[in-house]
C-alpha cells in the first residue's frame, strides 16, 4: 500500500473515531437524563432554531441529534462554576449561543483585533473628566438612559456580521444628537458598517473600531441616513454591501454632535453617564456571556484583549442576599438581539476594579461631546445640560435619563 493510501486511511479512521467519541459522549447518560436533555433540546430548537446565525453554524457543522445532546450536556455541566463565580447573575444552558462550540461562538462574537485599540494610558483619566462633571461633581445613585421615552435607539441584532462597533457608534452619536436637540433619530448602522472605512476591509470582518466610526459619523454631519432610509441587512448576509451614495439623504438630518473624546476608568464612566451613554469595549469570548440570562456579572475569565464594542446606558445598585447587601452595576446594551440577556442588556458589577472594570468594561471608553449649549462648562461655571434629579419613582423628561439622587 502506497504512503498516500496509508495517510488517507489513517485520516479516515481518525475522523471515524472522533465521530464515535462524540456520539458515545452524548449517549453515555442515563435514560432519565437523556429524556430531560431531549426535552430541553426541543425547547431550545423552538426558540432559537430559526435564528439565522445559529442555523448556519449547526448546518455547516452537520451536527447530529446526539451531538446536540452532547453539546447541551456540556453546557449544562458548566453552570455550577459560572454561578459560583457570579453569585448575583443567572445562567442557562438554553441560551441562544449555549450550544455553540468555543470556536463557533468566537466566530460570532470576536471583532476587535489585538493591538488596534490605544493603550489605556493614552486615554483621559478620571481626574480630567472631573472638570466637567455635572451636578456639582456629585455622582448620583442611579442613571438609566433606556427608560421610555428614550433618546437611545432600539436594541439591534448584528446577526452574521461582526458589526457591533458600527451599531454602538451609530447609537451613541444618535443619542448625542437627540440630547442636544430633543429630536429622536436612529442613524443607519448599515451605512456606518459599509462606509466608515471607504476602500478598507469589509465592515463585517470585525476590523472596525467604534471610535473611528463615531468620528466618521460626525464628519458626515450633513449627509447621514437614518435606519429607515438604509436599513440593516448585513446581519442576514454576513457581508457589507458597497458603500452607497449617502448624499441622497443630504438635508434630512442636520447632525449636532461634537468631537469624539476617549477616557478610561469606572469613575470617569459614571460621571459621563450622567450626561450621556458611553461606548465601551468588553471581553465576551467566554461562557459568562454565552450563557448569561440576567442579574449582575462579577467575573469574566482573565484575558489580555477586549473583543467587542457596546453602549453603556446607565448604572445603579441592587439589593442582594435578602436585602442585606447592595451591589453596584453598569448597564450595558449589546447587539445580540432582545432574546439575549436582559432584553438585550447585561449588567456588570461596579467597584471591583475601578481602573479596568468588570470584563474590562472601563478600559476603552468613548463619547461624542454634547454641543456647547447642552454640556457643562467648567470655565464658565455653568451647567446647561444637567440631568434631571428625581426622587425614586418620579418619571424623567423625554431627553433626560431616569436619575435617583444618592440618599433620596
CATH code assigned at 248? 3.90.70.10
Res. 106: pLDDT tops 70: yes
Residue 290 lies in a domain: yes
Claim: this prediction has a pTM higher than 0.85? no
Q: Which of 190, 211, 214 has its CA nearest to residue 202?
A: 190
Q: Which three cell numbers stand for residue 243?
A: 458603500
List the alpha helices (DSSP H) in 28-64.
31-48, 52-60
The larger pLDDT score, comparing residue 252 to residue 151, is at 151
Which residues have a Cβ under 8 Å from the Cβ of 135 and sit 6 or more positions away? Answer: 274, 383, 386, 387, 389
Task: Mark which of 34, 69, 104 sits at the end of a domain.
Answer: 104
- In this prediction, residues 10-29 reach a mean pLDDT of 45
Average pLDDT of the chain to the nearest whole number: 81
Output the pLDDT for position 401: 57
Whether residue 21 has pLDDT greater than 90: no
What's the rounded mean pLDDT across residues 351-366?
A: 97
Confidence of residue 28 (pLDDT cuts 50, 70, 90): confident
Pick 398 or 266 by higher pLDDT.
266
pLDDT, position 166? 97
Could you say which DSSP state residue 144 is in? E
Number of folded domains that form the chain: 2
Of 322, 274, 326, nearest in space to 296 by CA:
326
- Report pLDDT for 53: 67
pLDDT score of 402: 54
Tell me what pLDDT residue 57 has.
65
Pair 93, 140 in one domain: no
Residue 51 pLDDT class (50, 70, 90 cuts): confident
In Å, what is the CA distance from 309 to each residue of 168, 292, 349? 6, 18, 18
- For the residues 333-340, what does the mean pLDDT come to? 97
Evaluate if residue 118 carries a pLDDT over 80: no
Assigned domain for 2 exists? no
Q: Are residues 314 and 254 in the same domain?
A: yes
Considering 5-9, 132-136, 214-218, 390-394, the range whose residues carry the highest mean pLDDT is: 214-218
Residue ending a domain, choose from 104, 138, 153:
104
Residue 112 lies in a domain: no
Indicate if 63 and 168 belong to the same structural domain. no
173 pLDDT higher than 60: yes
Q: Are residues 153 and 269 in the same domain?
A: yes
Q: Using CA atoms, how far apart are residues 347 and 298, in angstroms rounded to an integer?
A: 9
Contact by Cβ (8 Å): 364, 306 = yes
323 pLDDT band, cuts 50/70/90, is confident
Is 195 inside a domain boundary? yes
Regarding whether 391 and 249 lie in a shared domain, the answer is yes
Clarify whether residues 69 and 175 are in a common domain: no
Which phi and psi (to 5°) does residue 41 adopt? -65, -40
Per-residue model confidence (pLDDT) at position 177: 97
Residue 148: is it exposed, middle or buried by C-beta count within 10 angstroms (0-12/13-18/19+)? exposed
Assigned domain for 124 exists: yes
Q: Is residue 243 assigned to a domain?
A: yes
332: its cell numbers: 450595558
Q: 275 and 395 share a domain?
A: yes
Q: What are phi and psi of 357, to 5 degrees?
A: 80, 160
Do 38 and 165 belong to one domain? no
Proportion of the chain in helix, strand, coil states, percent, rounded to 5: 40, 15, 45
Least confident segment among 81-90, 100-109, 183-192, 358-367: 100-109
Question: Looking at the structure, do residues 125 and 184 belong to the same domain, yes or no?
Answer: yes
List the domain range (segments joined by +) for residue 16. Answer: 9-104
In a domain, 110, yes or no: no
288: part of which helix (H) or strand (E)? helix 287-291
At 208-257, the pLDDT tens digits run: 999 999 999 999 988 899 999 999 999 999 999 888 777 778 778 999 99
- 44 assigned to some structural domain: yes
Contact yes or no for 350/362 (Cβ under 8 A): no
Mark whether 64 and 147 lie in a shared domain: no
Give the mean pLDDT of 370-398: 42
**Nearest residue to 210 via CA among 338, 368, 349:** 368
Q: Considering only 47-61, 225-239, 277-291, which range has the smallest mean pLDDT?
A: 47-61
pLDDT value at residue 400: 53
Which helix (H) or strand (E) segment holds residue 193: the answer is: helix 189-195
**From start to end of 302-377, where are the E strands?**
308-320, 325-333, 345-349, 365-368
Residue 239, exposed/middle/buried by CB under 10 A (0-12, 13-18, 19+)?
Answer: middle
Same-domain check for residues 126 and 98 = no
Asked if residue 130 and residue 94 are part of one domain, the reply reads no
Amino acid at each position: 500500500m502506497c504512503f498516500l493510501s496509508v495517510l488517507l486511511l489513517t485520516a479516515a479512521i481518525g475522523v471515524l473515531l472522533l465521530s464515535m467519541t462524540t456520539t458515545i459522549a452524548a449517549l453515555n447518560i442515563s435514560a432519565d437524563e437523556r429524556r430531560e436533555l431531549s426535552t430541553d433540546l426541543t425547547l431550545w430548537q423552538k426558540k432559537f432554531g430559526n435564528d439565522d446565525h445559529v442555523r448556519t453554524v449547526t448546518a455547516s457543522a452537520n451536527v447530529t441529534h446526539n451531538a446536540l445532546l452532547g453539546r447541551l450536556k456540556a453546557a449544562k455541566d458548566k453552570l455550577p462554576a459560572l454561578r459560583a463565580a457570579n453569585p448575583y447573575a443567572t445562567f442557562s444552558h438554553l441560551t441562544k449561543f449555549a450550544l455553540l462550540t468555543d470556536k463557533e461562538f468566537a466566530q460570532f462574537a470576536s471583532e476587535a483585533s489585538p493591538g488596534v485599540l490605544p493603550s489605556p494610558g493614552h486615554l483621559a483619566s478620571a481626574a480630567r473628566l472631573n472638570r466637567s462633571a455635572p451636578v456639582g461633581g456629585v455622582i448620583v445613585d442611579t442613571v438609566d438612559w433606556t427608560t421610555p421615552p428614550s433618546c437611545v435607539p432600539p436594541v439591534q441584532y448584528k446577526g452574521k456580521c461582526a458589526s457591533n462597533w458600527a451599531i454602538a457608534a451609530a447609537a451613541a452619536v444618535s443619542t448625542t444628537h437627540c440630547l442636544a436637540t430633543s429630536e429622536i433619530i436612529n442613524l443607519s448602522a448599515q451605512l456606518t458598517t459599509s462606509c466608515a472605512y471607504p476602500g478598507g476591509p469589509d465592515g463585517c470582518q470585525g476590523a472596525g473600531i467604534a471610535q473611528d466610526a463615531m468620528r466618521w459619523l460626525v464628519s458626515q454631519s450633513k449627509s447621514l441616513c437614518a435606519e429607515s432610509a438604509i436599513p440593516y441587512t448585513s446581519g442576514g448576509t454576513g457581508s457589507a454591501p458597497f458603500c452607497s451614495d449617502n448624499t441622497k439623504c443630504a438635508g434630512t438630518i442636520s447632525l449636532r454632535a461634537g468631537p469624539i473624546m476617549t477616557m478610561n476608568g469606572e469613575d470617569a464612566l459614571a460621571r459621563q453617564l450622567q450626561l450621556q451613554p458611553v461606548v465601551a469595549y468588553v471581553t465576551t469570548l467566554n461562557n459568562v456571556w454565552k450563557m448569561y440570562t440576567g442579574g449582575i456579572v462579577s467575573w469574566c475569565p482573565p484575558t489580555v484583549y477586549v473583543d467587542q464594542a457596546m453602549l453603556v446606558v446607565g448604572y445603579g445598585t441592587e439589593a442582594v442576599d435578602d436585602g442585606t447587601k447592595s451591589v453596584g452595576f453598569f448597564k450595558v446594551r449589546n447587539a445580540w438581539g432582545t432574546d439575549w440577556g436582559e432584553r438585550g442588556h447585561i449588567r456588570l458589577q461596579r467597584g471591583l476594579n475601578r481602573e479596568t472594570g468588570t470584563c474590562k468594561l472601563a478600559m476603552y471608553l468613548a463619547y461624542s461631546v454634547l454641543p456647547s449649549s447642552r454640556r457643562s462648562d467648567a470655565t464658565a461655571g455653568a451647567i446647561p445640560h444637567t440631568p434631571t434629579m428625581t426622587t425614586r419613582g418620579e418619571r424623567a423628561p423625554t431627553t433626560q435619563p431616569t436619575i435617583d439622587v444618592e440618599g433620596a
